[in-house]
Amino acid sequence: MDSLIINSTEDSPEIRFDTTTNIFIISGESRPENAGKFYAPIINWLNDFEGILYWRRHEMKDSSGSISFIFKLEYFNSTSAKCILDVLLVLKKFVDQGYKINVEWHHDKHGEDILDSGKEFAIMVGMNFKFVED
């Protein structure tokens, strides 16, 4: 499966889901006019990636790999928050199936809103996040 790369715009974040390194990053600002339309292909890609995880585990007998999912969001609006939650719910599904997903939630020293949002997301999906101050 090819990596998913979407360059950032003025309104949308950069998406770098690298299937060779298992490092998936969402970074920048997320305030697209239609967040659902922007995030739908990302969620679909993640759902398709579940097949790769299954293949790695059952066909390749490789269950040692983990995925680092890194959020480096500087700002996101409320409609993006719903879509970010949808992404996290897919990751939670992976965790529930026994896959190793490490979520890093980055925030800057003065970005209390971003940090608080990350803490709320972690509680909502029932996952542990590593909070990283940039």
Integer Cα distance of 107 and 109 in angstroms: 7
For residue 114, give the H/E element and its range: helix 112-125
Q: What is the pLDDT of residues 19-40, one digit of tens each?
A: 999 999 999 999 999 999 999 9
Q: Which amino acid is at 97?
A: Q
* Fold of the CATH domain 4-133: Transcription Regulator spoIIAA (3.30.750)
Please give the model's pTM, rounded to 2 decimal places. 0.93
At residue 79, the pLDDT reads: 96
Domain ranges of the chain: 4-133
> For all residues of the chain together, what is the average pLDDT?
93
